[in-house]
Amino acid sequence: MKNTIAALIAGLFATAAFAQTPAAAPAPKAAAPAVVKAEAKQDKQAAKAEAKETKVEAKADVKEAKADVKADAKVDARAVAKADVKGTKVAAKHTKAKAKHAAKAEAAKDTTVAAVTPAPAK
């Protein structure tokens, strides 16, 4: 039994020794100021390039949208003009038919009046 207890205690000491956290690694040395400056400069240039690219894309989108609006307006104007012409033609046709009908009615009225009234006696 003494051997078993001794083995258990030795095992506990061994695990306690291995369970210790390792000593902290030395902090990495700060990068040289020149390196930090160069990285900052590269980041700044990359940001500028990205902003410029975004601006160009936005301008292209605006230009495309304007072209679409202009094309739509042109198509709408043509459709409106065609509808106006068609409406004018229909109105003219209707007016012509109305005038023709009125002329026929007037002619019929004149012949009826002439047939009903006797010729004056001499």
DSSP per-residue letters across 49-88: HHHHHHHHHHHHHHHHHHHHHHHHHHHHHHHHHHHHHHHH
Between 6 and 120, the more confident residue is 6
5: Cα within 13 Å, side-chain hemisphere: 2
Q: What is the mean pLDDT of residues 79-88?
A: 84
Between 11 and 28, the more confident residue is 11
Query: Where in the chain are the domains?
Result: 31-116
DSSP per-residue letters across 93-110: HHHHHHHHHHHHHHHHHH
Q: What is the mean pLDDT of residues 31-38?
A: 78
How far is 109 from 102, CA to CA, in rounded Å? 10
Look at residues 95, 118, 99, 119 and name the one whose alpha carbon lies nearest to residue 107: 99
Between 93 and 122, the more confident residue is 93
CA distances from 15 to 4, 5, 22 (A): 17, 15, 14
